[in-house]
Amino acid sequence: MLLPDYWRAALLLNLVMLVASLSIFTVPVMAPAIAQSLSVSPSLLGVWSALLWGSSLATVYTAGHFIARHGALRVSQACLALCMAGLACAASGWLPGLGLAAVLIGLGQGLETPASSALLARLAPLKRQALIFSVKQTGVQVAGMLAGILFPLLLLATSWQGTMLMTLAVTAALIITTEQVRSQLDPPQVARAGGLSMRQAMRHVRGNQRLLRLTFASFAYIAMQVCVNTFLVTWAVTELHASLLVAGQAFATMQIGGFTGRLVWGLACGPRLRAQHVLISLGGGMFLCAIGLYLLTPQSPPALLAALSLATGLTVSGWNGLFLAEVARLSPPDEVGRVTSASFLFGSAGLVLGPVLFSVVAAASSYAGALLLMGCIAALGMLALATERSGPQGRPL
């Protein structure tokens, strides 16, 4: 029996997110090796991350227009093509090439989320969207598990440039695979021009209090998420004196937690448990996990690092699918791509400012202190959701 189109689309888009995320994780996971090879400080990783997510703003602003004109899956292929170009630049082994790689990969990331949201919101039944969006979002965690385990092992057999090229080859294969099913899941006649302009979509976000609070919470949660994903390996190697293999395993364990969390929280949401309540709880969990990470020392048992990494993944990476489903639910029909782009445009400031702030604090004090600060910012996002007054702004999910 064939799967419904919305499940087929969700699984394909999961693969797109997985491969696109692998291109992001190449530098954070291999940062100690790259820094040693290029004779630079690992703290420059914050600049790399800020370049990546800052450049994503250039395409997220226009993603809704591209989706309406070319279709969601064609835009997803463009995302993968940009990731390929970025990996090729990074594999040059030239420091400016790494900077250009961050820009190109970031441009691709600005397209991925609005495109997938637009297609899934059109295909998936409303009552299943929290689960379907969460399943799709697990691509990030699967990529993190693979990156945390495979990249350190590949470094033993080849160089970090070779690992980049292997990731590039996988990306090219997925572009070809997507083309084979694109006409079935996203036929050309669905694509249309017109609809909300990006400015109108941004005004819609600002004028809807629930969307606005969700967007602010996403800013805070994204800042915490991107910093943990970017700096966990470097923090463990630098301040806990763990080996790159152990640090990579901790990173992979965190992704296992995120994978589990996205599925569990997506399944849990329903008439009795609103997505907003789960999002509030996850913000509190992020804060508690930041405290736990801050208190770790080089003498802490490895099992404690693993347990905290798992708990961190459950919270810091478990919220995205619920957030996207809520944004889709509160968007006008057929405008999910543009409204998601507008919300992401506001919230993505956390992607840019978070790593920069983290790097400044880490340089001035410690990576652990910077992690604690990110936890406090996540707590502010939790408070924004927790203090919302109930109102008739959409059906609870």
Tokens 């292929």 identify what position? 77
Compute CA distances 215 → 5, 100, 278, 298, 320, whole Å.
29, 29, 16, 37, 12
pLDDT at 198: 65
For 125-167, the pLDDT digits (tens) are 877 777 888 888 888 888 988 888 899 899 988 899 999 999 9
The secondary element (H helix, E strand) that includes residue 204 is helix 198-207
Q: 32-57: per-residue pLDDT in tens? A: 889 888 888 776 777 888 888 888 88
Rounded to an integer, what distance in angstroms lies between the CA atom of residue 95 and that of residue 234? 18
**How far is it, in rounded angstroms, from Cα 171 to Cα 86?**
11
* Measured distance CA(377)–CA(379) in Å, rounded: 5
Ordered domains of the chain (ranges, CATH): 5-184+194-386 (1.20.1250.20)
CB burial string 8-27: b at 16+ within 10 A, e below: ebbebbbbbbbbbbbbbbbb
Handedness of CA 103, 74, 116, 161 (dihedral sign): negative
Who has greater pLDDT, 318 or 392? 318
Percent of the chain residues topping a pLDDT of 70? 92
From first CA to last CA, the distance across the chain in angstroms is 29
Q: With contact defined as beta carbons under 8 Å apart, do 101 and 192 qualify?
A: no
State the pTM of this model: 0.74
